[in-house]
Amino acid sequence: MDFEFSPIKFDNTYNIRDSVYSILRGAILDGRLKAGQHLVERDIARQLKVSRTPVREAIQKLENEKLVTHVQRKGVFVAGFTKADAEEIGVIRIALESLCCSIAASKITEKELVNLENINQKMLQEHLQGNLTKAVFLNKKFHESIYKSARSPHLYYFVSTLRDYISPFTQLSYTKEGRIQEVFEEHADIIQKLRLHDAQGAHDAAKNHIEKSGKTFVRMAY
């Protein structure tokens, strides 16, 4: 592997397997481990300073998530996303995030709306200053703030888990010239519908935003 992990420390209450899984999963989803990269169990265990058992168990969980694939007689490799994967994730994201917005429309507070406006403005400013990583982080924060304002714990869990998968999509689509301004305006439209407590309008604004983001990524990546 080109990327190397730093050793980790555990206290007695921490599940080692879950920690190793979280570290590997995060490295795949944020692009530190690239598609096609070979994952060698013993090397990962050595770098993290853990036994091979939790690494093996973590890799099995990642294989169940389709984030890694086992190639017979060759080993385990980071799977990456196909065009079909990206399109499927996009459809699911539209359904969940549109639902979040429609529910949030009846529950969101003025304080939460002002917070969304501030995040959206900061996101645009960071991008204009060339801070793409910060802009992507603020975009994620914007969406997570809406999830929380829906006050639906189970929905929050499902949509937050899904968002982990789309970080690479967002990173790439934001490099398209003019896309960040479009995102800013699409976010502003969502905020306006939420402020009006217009459930259908918020649903449709979110759907429009996510469809455009998905199409931008697919055009650029494939």
Closest by CA position to 210, among listed 171, 166, 147: 166
Q: Which helix (H) or strand (E) holds 77?
A: strand 75-78
Angstrom distance (rounded) from CA 143 to CA 151: 13
pTM surpassing 0.75?
Answer: yes
DSSP type of residue 198: -
Instruction: Determine the average pLDDT of the residues in 177-199.
Output: 96
Contact of 204 with 190, CB cutoff 8 Å: no
Q: Are 207 and 94 in contact (CB under 8 A)?
A: yes
**pLDDT tens, position by position, 108-161:** 999 999 999 999 999 999 999 999 889 989 999 999 999 999 999 999 999 988
Query: Of how many residues is the chain composed?
Result: 222
Find the mean pLDDT for residues 73-87: 89
